[in-house]
Chains A and B, each alone.
Chain A
Amino acid sequence: MILERLSSENFRNLEAAEYRFHPAVNLVVGMNGQGKTNLLEAVYFLATTKSFRTARTQSLIRFGQSYLFVNGDIARQGVTQTLSAGVDPGESRRVLTINAERVPLGRYLQSLTVIAYSSSRLEIIRGGPEDRRRFLDRGIASVEPGYLERLNRFQRALKQRNALLHAIAARQARASDLDAWDEEFLLAAIPVSAARADYARRISALLGATVDRYRYHVTGLTLRYLPGGEASGDPGAWRQRLQEVKRQELRSRMTLVGPQRDNVAFELEGRPAAEVLSGGELKTIVLFLKFAKLEHFRDETGEAAVFVLDDIDAELDVDILEAVLLNLPAATQLFATSAKQSVISALETGPHRRFAMDGGRAVEVSEH
């Protein structure tokens, strides 16, 4: 899939201009604070309706304005569609359209997949379990259309079951009321858990292969799915696990097994990678992880996701970065920012378009 065109209104400091992108490589250069990252963030927002820098949507809206939207043309398997994602104060949800027709989030997210690397975001390894669960969920949702719906169902069942545990503790409900909710909970939880376990296994294998391919010195890194409350396997095993923790659950008034407590262990020979690796090594590993995601997406869908690489100067091993970028899955469209004029010679020798940003607009666009 190729992002051919993008325009925005009130998106941070970006001027409401139209950007036409190169199908292969787009380099965005400029001094800090001139809108390089904002342009990439707009690309990411168009695909995910979120930012890779902040959880606060409000901070994306240009100061003094009340709404924003980003729209773009996506060419995919010979068809071009216009996507638009917006934030409007009169709407509680994002305003999402495909070819000017309102669509629900689940369908919108299927239209464009962007995988982003930002050197300032290493939550996948350093962050908490919820960051890692999000990593798994976003990856799965990009290749499995029904996953978000399953996740919603699970979250709803979990909320209900927790509310019931509270009510039982407060003697407003009977312990036997749990029977029906246990069953509904595990019917909702098992598919989520199975999808995450499978995804983690696939990404771990791809990550290992990537590390080997580039002969990176950090070997033996594994990514292991740790099922919440050690619940796994068939419904019978889950039921038994739920029984084992029931008394504890009634005391703590919350569900102690299931995907809400999942974690992912990034380990190097059994020790947490976050403790063993240096800052530079971590960044390289996260880059490899993104590469693994790109390959997984390619394997699953037969298409290439768009790759967004923010701030390539920061501590990344340039030789490895070059090698990785030259080995991206075929037809991967790349967006990269840099504060330096010349960073990645491997990219600059091939065909690309270069955007020189200044004051929120591209002052110079050149074809190479």
Chain B
Amino acid sequence: MTAPPLAHLINELTKLPGLGGKSAARLAYHLLKRPTADVEALASAILDVKSKIFRCSICNNMTDVEPCVICSDTRRDPTVICVVEEAFNIPTIETTRDFRGVFHVLLGALSPLKGVGPQDIDVAGLVRRVQAGQIREVIVATNPNVEGEATALYIAQQLRPLEVRTTRLGFGLPVGGDLEYADQVTMSKALESRREI
């Protein structure tokens, strides 16, 4: 029998993505062993994030300043918008340092199974930004799965009347890897999107 406060913590932890009962229990027991100060630091960091972080009014990125540091960076090109599903996709693209445009976070992808329709993701905000003018290109960087593809198709349909250049991220081989380890779908996608050298 697990003591009720401990059971309560384990139950809360299992609500986190990727954590099952066993992992949650391991984390809970680990927290118990840590010094009180460490646990307080973790608890206050969690509370802090909830009270100080909000969505950027322009791009929906998670931020503590309005607008976010990317939208307010004058060295960036505001005429190129990269569209991602979630705010946590931004750091992945940012670490490349190759993209110097701005972002638009959809806050999800179309998924009727989860009850997510066009009204539940922020395509309207993207359309407004394009309508406001001066956008040269929209790069759709949704996930390469069924939901991400349908979302990309929906975005393309919504942007068509606005006549803005709309592109989809390319599919290709992982760089630095060996050809022999590429799975067949990636390989055929890479063949499909081959280019002249």
B63 at the interface (CB under 8 A from A): no
Inter-subunit contact B154/A180 (CB<8 Å) = yes
Contact bitstring A328-351, B, C-beta under 8 A = 1, else 0 = 000000000000000000000000
Inter-subunit contact A167/B150 (CB<8 Å) = no
Q: Looking at the complex, which one of B118, B150, B185 makes contact with A157 (CB distance below 8 Å)?
A: B150
* B89: chain A residues within 8 A (beta carbon): none
* B145: chain A residues within 8 A (beta carbon): 156
Report the minimal beta-carbon distance from A184 to chain B, rounded to whole angstroms: 4
Report the minimal beta-carbon distance from A182 to chain B, rounded to whole angstroms: 9
Q: What total count of A-B pairs have CB within 8 Å?
A: 62
Inter-subunit contact B112/A181 (CB<8 Å) = yes
B137 at the interface (CB under 8 A from A): no
* A145: chain B residues within 8 A (beta carbon): 184
Q: How far is the CA of A177 from the CA of B112 in the complex (A)?
A: 10
**CB closest residue in chain A, given B149:** A184
Q: Looking at the complex, which one of B115, B157, B183, B188 makes contact with A172 (CB distance below 8 Å)?
A: B115
Which residues of A, 234-283, contact B by the 8 Å Cβ criterion?
Answer: none
Question: Interface size of B by Cβ–Cβ distance < 8 Å?
Answer: 21
Q: Looking at the complex, which one of A146, A166, A167 makes contact with B188 (CB distance below 8 Å)?
A: A146
Q: Looking at the complex, which one of A146, A174, A181 makes contact with B150 (CB distance below 8 Å)?
A: A181
Inter-subunit contact A177/B117 (CB<8 Å) = yes
Which residues of B, 160-185, contact A by the 8 Å Cβ criterion?
Answer: 183-185
* B122: chain A residues within 8 A (beta carbon): none
Q: How far is the CA of A153 from the CA of B113 in the complex (A)?
A: 15
Which residues of A, 142-192, contact B by the 8 Å Cβ criterion?
Answer: 145-146, 149-150, 153, 156-157, 159-161, 163-164, 166-167, 172-174, 177, 179-181, 183-184, 187-188
Q: Which of A106, A150, A161, A164 has the most CB of B within 10 A?
A: A164
Report the minimal beta-carbon distance from B96 to chain A, rounded to whole angstroms: 27
Chain A facing B: main interface SS: helix
Chain B facing A: main interface SS: helix
B61 at the interface (CB under 8 A from A): no
Assuming the A-B contacts A153-B146, A180-B151, are A160 and B184 also in contact, with contact meaning beta carbons closer than 8 angstroms in the complex?
A: no
Inter-subunit contact A149/B185 (CB<8 Å) = yes
B147 at the interface (CB under 8 A from A): yes
* B110: chain A residues within 8 A (beta carbon): 160, 180-181
Report the minimal beta-carbon distance from A189 to chain B, rounded to whole angstroms: 12
Q: How far is the CA of A346 from the CA of B150 in the complex (A)?
A: 58
**CB closest residue in chain A, given B113:** A163
B111 at the interface (CB under 8 A from A): yes
Inter-subunit contact A149/B184 (CB<8 Å) = yes
* B19: chain A residues within 8 A (beta carbon): none
* B149: chain A residues within 8 A (beta carbon): 184, 187
Report the minimal beta-carbon distance from B155 to chain A, rounded to whole angstroms: 8
* B112: chain A residues within 8 A (beta carbon): 160-161, 163-164, 166-167, 173, 177, 181
Contact bitstring B135-153, A, C-beta under 8 A = 1, else 0 = 0000000000111011101
Residues of A at the B interface (CB closer than 8 Å) are 106-107, 145-146, 149-150, 153, 156-157, 159-161, 163-164, 166-167, 172-174, 177, 179-181, 183-184, 187-188
Q: Can you give 22 contacting A-B residue pairs, CB < 8 Å?
A: A145-B184, A146-B184, A146-B187, A156-B146, A157-B146, A160-B111, A160-B113, A163-B112, A164-B112, A167-B112, A167-B117, A173-B117, A177-B117, A180-B118, A180-B150, A180-B154, A181-B110, A181-B112, A183-B157, A184-B150, A184-B153, A187-B149
Nearest 3 pairs of A and B residues by beta carbon = A180-B154, A164-B112, A163-B112
Residues of B at the A interface (CB closer than 8 Å) are 110-113, 115, 117-118, 145-147, 149-151, 153-154, 157, 183-185, 187-188
